[in-house]
């Protein structure tokens, strides 16, 4: 069964054709990131306009790359949320009209669950239940994943998302946007740090809080006259150790409490090289096997949307014409 995925939750206009939930025949992504850079964050109106102007071309390219005609599609899966309202509605309206015109089912996909599904599209996958951790620009959520669509949230951020903290710290350091990849790169230039930032899990729970560490970074740079690359690298590395340390701590605590031995990590920050290193060094060595998506599926894409949509289709969980965005 061929499912067309459409994803417009934030700044990427994406479309993909996936066979039977796993076979990625095309994966087209058009980002409006360059238009947001000068503002240091995604501007919803600009993102939405980019979706409106590009969705037609992106979907056509996804079909062309997959070398299929739209009549061969079994269904259309679209991101329902969470995301930016206008951006989501562009994809939903497009998918709705296409499903109506072709007379094929419409599938409403949860974006966070799709980020976890991105790691399940390959040969080696964990059995349910397992721990699922979404680390993205908008979310930091730890769940027990019972099934593709059955998630029990056991920990989440009480303030900033981890990707948001990366972006804000990068901004303080005068680095580019998005800041995550910049910090990832820069941190590698600092061997060991004398700086220590405090980032603890929220007492007695599996929740996260990342806004304090961002303020601590701001204070530690305030009185420095000139932030040279070495100093920036030291701050980047210390920040990373603090936030990723809490991630590791909460994940291991959750695995122990729940008796689970597999962890799937998805979302933009899952591309982070230090997180992957810590997963190998600290998480795997504690007996918890970690699954990551390939780099190409860490950030927003429609292959994960189409892939998860296939499982909705198999269960006949089809959306109606009244489908709307769930921000």
Instruction: Catalog residues that contact ligand KG4 under the rule CB under 6 A.
Output: 10, 136-138, 163, 166-167, 178-181, 184, 267-269, 271-272, 299-300
Among ligand KG4, Zn ion, none, partner that 130 touches (CB below 5 to 8 angstroms by kind): none
Closer to ligand KG4 by CB, 98 or 302: give it.
302
d(CA 24, CA 3): 10
Among Zn ion, ligand KG4, none, partner that 178 touches (CB below 5 to 8 angstroms by kind): ligand KG4
Give min distance, CB of 308 to ligand KG4, in A. 14
Among Zn ion, ligand KG4, none, partner that 140 touches (CB below 5 to 8 angstroms by kind): none
How large is the C-alpha radius of gyration of the chain?
A: 20
Closer to ligand KG4 by CB, 106 or 304: give it.
304
Among Zn ion, ligand KG4, none, partner that 163 touches (CB below 5 to 8 angstroms by kind): ligand KG4
Give min distance, CB of 290 to ligand KG4, in A. 16
Considering only CA atoms, which of 168, 175, 171 is closest in space to residue 229?
Answer: 175
Considering only CA atoms, which of 13, 11, 12 is closest in space to residue 42?
Answer: 11
Closer to ligand KG4 by CB, 19 or 44: give it.
44
Give min distance, CB of 19 to ligand KG4, in A. 24
Closer to ligand KG4 by CB, 126 or 138: give it.
138
Among ligand KG4, Zn ion, none, partner that 94 touches (CB below 5 to 8 angstroms by kind): none
Give min distance, CB of 9 to Zn ion, in A. 6
Closer to Zn ion by CB, 151 or 197: give it.
151
d(CA 83, CA 195): 35
Among ligand KG4, Zn ion, none, partner that 272 touches (CB below 5 to 8 angstroms by kind): ligand KG4
Residues that bind Zn ion (CB under 5 A): 136, 300
Closer to Zn ion by CB, 105 or 132: give it.
132
Contact 93, 56 (CB under 8 A): no
Give min distance, CB of 113 to ligand KG4, in A. 12
d(CA 50, CA 231): 37
Output the 3-class SS for the chain. Answer: CEEEEEECCCCEEEEEEEECCCEEEEEEEEECHHHHHHHCCCCHHHHHHHHHHHHHHHHHHHHHHHCCCHHHCCEEEEEEECCCHHHHHHHHHHHHHHHHHHCCCEEEEEHHHHHHHHHHCCCCCCCCCEEEEEECCCCEEEEEEEECCEEEEEEEECCCCHHHHHHHHHHHCCCCCCHHHHHHHHHCCCCCCCCCCCCCCCCCCCCECCHHHHHHHHHHHHCCCCCCHHHHHHHHHHHHHHHHHHHHHHHHHHHHHHCCCEEEEECHHHHCHHHHHHHHHHHHHHCCEEECCCHHHCCCCCHHHHHHHHHHHHCCCCECCCCCCCC
Among ligand KG4, Zn ion, none, partner that 292 touches (CB below 5 to 8 angstroms by kind): none
Give min distance, CB of 117 to Zn ion, in A. 12
Among Zn ion, ligand KG4, none, partner that 21 touches (CB below 5 to 8 angstroms by kind): none
Closer to Zn ion by CB, 115 or 232: give it.
115
Give min distance, CB of 69 to ligand KG4, in A. 31
Give min distance, CB of 69 to Zn ion, in A. 30
Closer to Zn ion by CB, 136 or 237: give it.
136
């Amino acid at each position: 069964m061929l499912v067309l995925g459409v994803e417009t939750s934030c700044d990427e206009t994406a479309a993909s054709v996936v066979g039977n939930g796993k076979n990625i025949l095309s994966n087209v992504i058009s980002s409006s990131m360059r238009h947001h850079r000068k503002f240091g964050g995604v501007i919803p109106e600009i993102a939405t306009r980019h979706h409106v102007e590009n969705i037609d071309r992106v979907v056509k390219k996804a079909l062309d790359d997959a070398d299929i005609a739209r009549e061969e599609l079994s269904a259309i899966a679209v991101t329902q949320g969470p995301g930016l309202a206008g951006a989501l509605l562009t994809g939903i309206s497009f998918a709705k009209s296409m499903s109506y015109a072709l007379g094929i089912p419409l599938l409403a996909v949860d974006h966070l669950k799709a980020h976890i599904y991105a790691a399940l599209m390959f040969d080696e996958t964990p059995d349910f239940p397992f721990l699922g951790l979404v680390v993205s620009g908008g979310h930091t959520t730890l769940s027990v994943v019972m099934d593709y669509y059955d998630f029990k949230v056991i920990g989440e951020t009480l303030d900033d998302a981890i990707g948001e903290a990366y972006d804000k710290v990068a901004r303080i350091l005068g680095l580019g946007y998005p800041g995550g990849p910049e910090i990832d790169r820069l941190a590698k230039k600092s061997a060991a740090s004398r700086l220590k930032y405090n980032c603890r899990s929220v007492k007695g729970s599996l929740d996260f809080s990342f806004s304090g560490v961002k303020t601590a970074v701001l204070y530690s740079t305030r009185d420095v006259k000139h932030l040279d690359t070495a100093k920036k690298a030291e701050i980047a590395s210390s920040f990373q150790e603090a936030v990723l340390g809490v991630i590791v701590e909460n994940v291991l605590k959750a695995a122990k409490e729940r008796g689970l031995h597999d962890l799937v990590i998805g979302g933009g920050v899952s591309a982070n090289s230090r997180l992957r290193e810590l997963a190998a060094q600290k998480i795997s060595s504690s007996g918890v096997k970690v699954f990551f998506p390939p780099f190409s599926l860490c950030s927003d894409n429609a292959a994960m949307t189409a892939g998860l949509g296939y499982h909705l289709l198999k269960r006949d969980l089809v959306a109606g014409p009244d489908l709307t965005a769930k921000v």
